[in-house]
Structure 1
Amino acid sequence: MSNFDCVVVGGGMVGAASALSLANLGLTVAIVESKQPVGFNETQALDLRVSAISLASEHLLTQLGAWPQLKQWRMCPYKRLGVWEHQASYTEFNADDIEQSHLGHIIENRLVQLALWQQINTHSKVTLFAPASVESFIEHENEIVVSLTIKSAEKECGEIEKITTQLLIAADGAHSQVRKLAHIGITGWDYQQSAMLINVETQSSQQDITWQQFFQTGPIAFLPLPGESELGGYASLVWYHQKNEIKRLSALSNEQLQSEIMQKFPQRIGQIKVINKGAFPLTRRHANTYQKGRVLLLGDAAHTINPMAGQGVNLGFKDVKALQTVIASAIGNNECWHLPEVLSRYEAKRRIDNLLMMTTMDSLYATFSHPSPAIKLFRNIGLKMANKIPFLKNKALAYACGV
């Protein structure tokens, strides 16, 4: 039976980053993941799933050695963020105002994961179990015994293997199996809306701005993507609306959807050509606790947030950094780093910050979807006031960027 200091379940962006960050502290780490990421080829089409990687997340990915590879592949920096409901209330955030060269980068989720896996594959402290899944675990006084199903092409049922660990990390997403096995409950709700992701060619070449316009039915957003297309550049459009409307839009042909976009999106979008599309429901989930004994929840296993401001994966990377700091501090102070009372410091560092961001996004969502003319007037005055109080505006921007 193999023994590890830490077992991370889930090898996505947050799981891979947490495994690397702990391995860099000298801990032996196992990653359990259901499938390995597909390798990168520059001829591959842009994925639909992208993230706005903040400055704080960029710093973490640099520390973990993944950022140089991402720069060699493809990413799109953005310097400005525009927000408005009516054009008269247009508010723009600029990296210059917080003395930064950019606010973040739009990067495909799969490439972030793949760049982290490249570091994992060469790290002597990390062992990969993939494809594999966790069937059960038992926490004893001095160790956790984890039962895995190791899958293979030769055997349909897979083989059962047991490993032991001092710390079990659930980074296996919003429907976390480890969270369920640990009997950790969640609170939350469905927003009764869906988001449609639409990759398009744009008349304009690559831009340095991402923007969002609010409607009562939900916002529409523009995210610049890297590369040059036949039309000019590329972008990701995000269309929030009621579930039935997104279902209708998803059933349209690319040409029909293109016509709908040109009618509903602002003129600043210019001419576009739809090349890919997909949709997902909006949900809000928050685990009742991030810790149970020596089991910890990170990323979407602990919290899912309204994606309106693109903070989901950035909150997950903040979780990773907080856990790394807690364990590094314990090791440095000659404490037993895997004691529950030490691990509880992770939740103390992250729960309030995550809840604050989730509540802020929920408040924005509720405010901009409210039909009252008085509320509508109030929110547009609020956007105008943001331009008149640059100190508060820049404070909010710096917080969102993690600087």
Structure 2
Amino acid sequence: MVGAATALGLAQLGLSVSVIESIEPKAFDDNQPLDVRVSAISAASEKLLNRLGAWDGVFKKRHAVYRGLETWELDGFITQFHCEQIHEDHLGHIVENRVIQLGLWEQLEQMDNVEILYPEIVTQFEYQQGSFQQVKVSLESGKQCIANLLIGCDGANSSVRQWAGIGITGWDYQQACMLINIETQTPQQDVTWQQFTPNGPRSLLPLPDNHASLVWYDSPQTIAKLMQFNPVQLAEQIRAHFPERLDPNFIVLDKGSFPLTRRHANQYYADNVVILGDAAHTINPLAGQGVNLGFKDVDALLSVVAEALGENQIWYQNSVLAEYQNQRYKDNLLMQTGMDMFYKTFSNNLMPIKAIRNLALKVANIDSPIKQKVLKYALGF
């Protein structure tokens, strides 16, 4: 998603772009089951996708709007956010990752200055010296691509980052996350909610019609065990461990899981190389900010490149890439640190700390300028 958005934005600036993908996105069909991988697209990310011309393609497929956010641990101590508090129509949309990718892909295919290579596997990166330095990318098919700038949007285990010698810092959270798609008897409300428990949060994200995505955080051992259950057995576990506000009349449709890790690249660029999204940073998914941070990376890179082109500068030189890093590094680090503090605070089960954090949730629910600023920051404004 982040890579496709970057490619599309650079192409719209008039640059020639080659996109290397290992698989081709499948065409959309209304009858296809919902993808278990979904993202909470913030209002800021929506605006970026709209500016790129991709949002209409996403919106016409499948999405679920959410207008409210609710977080609590103990009953009666709840923080509620609503779009009306910041005078917006909505807070965001829950969208399947592949639907976002398809919306971007459809726009890429219309660009004459975009070459899409799939299915392709990269076999080698190397610098090529000439009148000026470039990067040569060799593919399994035998094809080679030569570029002024190699852009790595290839995930947390980025081969581009590793080849460029960009180090990372990070750790594992000793927790895993399970995603579960369910179908309920009644349509979902336009609210996403999350309850903290001693073992980790339990969350619900609304999906189209009578569907929802449940998010279950727990120890890796517990999640591995849950993944072995059949749909009926898993539904029984959900009813036993999720808040009572979840409609008990549901069936499990699909599930998936992944470990929770934090990674942050020591820098976001090297000579003729830049990294974005998960290749540069991964975050605890508590607030659903992962892909939104990636789209903010895209927005920043497009901004500095556009400025360089407008001033007839070499748009891929290190000074331009350094400005992209300056705009994004501290913001990403701040969000990572904030989520870590939130995670650690609610992981501690000592009664005094438990009492303080629940009181804090109660106080945070009072309408105030601070509450509005927190909500706007979470939405990318």
Query: TM-score per shorter chain, which class?
Result: over 0.9
| Superposed CA RMSD | 1.1
State the match for 2:125 in structure 1.
137
Whether the 8 Å CA contact 2:155–2:277 is kept in 1: the answer is yes
Identical-residue share of aligned pairs (%): 50
Asked whether the equivalents of residues 135 and 150 of structure 2 are also in contact (C-alpha less than 8 Å), the reply is no
Aligned to 1:398: 376
Per-residue CA shift, 1:295-343, capped at 9, x if unaligned? Answer: 0010000001011110000000000000000011111122221111122
The equivalent residue for 2:350 is: 372
Distance 1:260 1:145 in 2: 51
Which of 146, 149, 160 is 2:139 aligned to? 149
User: Residue type of the partner of 2:59?
Assistant: K
Aligned to 2:179: 197
CA distance in 2, matches of 1:74, 1:116: 14
Shift of 1:353: 0.3
1:63 and 2:51 are equivalent in the alignment: yes
2:99 to 107, 111, 121: 111
1:105-254 matched pairs, under 5 angstroms: 105-139=93-127, 140=129, 142-150=132-140, 159-227=141-209, 233-254=210-231
Selected match of 2:244 from 267, 275, 281: 267
Q: What is the letter of the counterpart of residue 370 of structure 1? A: N
Following the alignment from structure 1 to structure 2, what is the Cα–Cα distance between the partners of residues 26 and 35?
A: 26
Q: Which residue of 2 aligns with 1:283?
A: 261
User: What displacement does 1:182 show?
Assistant: 1.0
The Cα of 1:23 is off from its aligned counterpart by 0.5
- The 8 Å contact of residues 143 and 164 in structure 1, kept in 2 or not, is answered as no
**Alpha-carbon distance between aligned partners in 2 of 1:378 and 1:189, rounded to the nearest angstrom:** 27
Whole-angstrom CA distance in 2 between matches of 1:164 and 1:69: 31
Aligned AA for 1:148?
S
Residue in structure 1 matching 2:271, options 293, 296, 303? 293
| Cα distance between partner residues in 2 of 1:252 and 1:161 | 45
- Do the aligned residues in 1 keep the contact of 2:135 with 2:272 (CA within 8 Å)? no
Residue 279 of structure 2 aligns with an amino acid whose one-letter code is A
Aligned ranges 1:356-367 → 2 under 5 Å:
356-367=334-345
Per the alignment, residue 102 of structure 1 pairs with: 90
**One-letter amino acid matched to 1:206:** Q
| CA offsets 1:271-304 (integer angstroms, 9 cap, x no match) | 2211111111111111111111120010000001
2:39, 2:96 within 8 Å by CA — same for their partners in 1?
Answer: yes
Q: Unaligned stretches of 5+ in structure 2?
A: none
Amino acid at match of 1:256: Q
Aligned partner of 1:6 in structure 2 is none
Q: Deviations over 1:177-218 (max 9, x none)?
A: 111111111111111111011100123313100000001211
Question: Match of 1:293, as an amino acid?
Answer: D
Instruction: Answer with 270-279 or 205-214: which moved more.
Output: 270-279
Q: Deviations over 1:340-388 (max 9, x none)?
A: 1122111000000000000001111100001211111111111111123
Maintained 8 Å contact 1:54/1:103: yes
| Residue aligned with 1:363, SS | helix
Give, in whole Å, the separation in 2 of the partners of 1:369 and 1:216: 6
Partner of 1:338: 316
In the alignment, is the contact (CA less than 8 A) between 1:146 and 1:162 conserved in 2?
yes
Give the partner amino acid of 2:77: S
| Pair 1:308 & 2:316 matched | no
CA contact 1:137–1:144 (8 Å) conserved in 2: no
Residue type of the partner of 1:207? Q
Query: Is the partner of 1:86 in helix, strand or coil?
Result: coil
Q: Is the 8 A contact 1:322 1:349 kept in 2?
A: yes
Tell me, in whole angstroms, the C-alpha distance in 2 between the residues paired with 1:119 and 1:366.
41
Q: In structure 1, how many angstroms separate the alpha carbons of the residues matched to 2:377 and 2:286? A: 16
Deviations 1:111-149 (A, max 9, x none): 100110000011011101111122222234723232322
Q: What is the deviation of 1:390?
A: 2.0
1:65-104 alignment runs, 5 A limit: 65-104=53-92
Structure 2 distance, partners of 1:35, 1:177, is 17
Amino acid at match of 1:144: Q
Q: CA deviation at 1:389?
A: 5.0
What secondary structure is seen at the aligned counterpart in 1 of 2:53? coil
Does the 8 A contact of 1:294 with 1:343 survive in 2?
no
Tell me the matched-pair count. Answer: 378
Structure 1 segments unaligned to the other structure (5+ residues): 1-12, 151-158, 228-232
> Using the alignment, how far apart are the partners of 1:266 and 1:145 within structure 2?
53
Partner of 1:323 in structure 2? 301
User: Given the two structures, how large is their TM-score scaled by the length of structure 2?
Assistant: 0.97
Moved >6 Å (runs of 4+): none
> Is 2:232 the counterpart of 1:255?
yes
The one-letter amino acid paired with 2:313 is E
On the 8 A contact 1:210/1:222 being kept in 2, the answer is yes
Stretch deviating more after TM superposition (333-342 or 247-256) = 333-342
Question: What amino acid is aligned across from residue 7 of structure 2 in structure 1?
Answer: A
CA distance in 2, matches of 1:128, 1:55: 29
201-210 or 100-109, which deviates more: 201-210
Distance 1:70 1:174 in 2: 25
Q: Is the 8 A contact 1:14 1:320 kept in 2?
A: yes
